[in-house]
Amino acid sequence: MKKGCPSKAPNLLVSGNHIKGGGVELKNNVGKTDRIIRIIVGLGMLSLLFLVGGKERLWGLLGLIPLLTGIMGLCPFYALIGFKTCPLKDR
């Protein structure tokens, strides 16, 4: 079994550290530590939905972004700028 950045993206063909779907191939670019931090931050931001009142609580929905990128192991912004925290080298 290969070590690196596993993917758990639903409804996509996943092969090693590549995600293929809809004619586009995306490589996982978020490493393990980065993923854990994103998930914790995302959950913390989502908790604002329950801790803050009024319209300000909707800012907690922004927590979906780091949460989903942490779960999927893929950050579109990282892909845009060519950055990755995943230790697996391209082959």
Q: pLDDT (tens digit, 9 = 90+) per residue, 64-84?
A: 999 999 999 999 999 899 888
Asked, for residue 56, whether it belongs to a domain, the answer is: yes
43 vs 87, higher pLDDT: 43
Asked, for residue 5, whether it belongs to a domain, the answer is: no
Confidence of residue 91 (pLDDT cuts 50, 70, 90): very low
CA separation, residue 37 to residues 7, 26, 34, 43, 69 (Å): 17, 21, 5, 10, 11
Q: How many domains does the chain have?
A: 1
At residue 26, the pLDDT reads 72
Asked, for residue 2, whether it belongs to a domain, the answer is: no
Asked, for residue 8, whether it belongs to a domain, the answer is: no
At residue 12, the pLDDT reads 46
Tens of pLDDT, residues 15-54: 555 555 555 567 789 999 999 999 999 999 999 999 999 9
Q: Which of 47, 48, 41, 17 is nearest to 9 (CA)?
A: 17
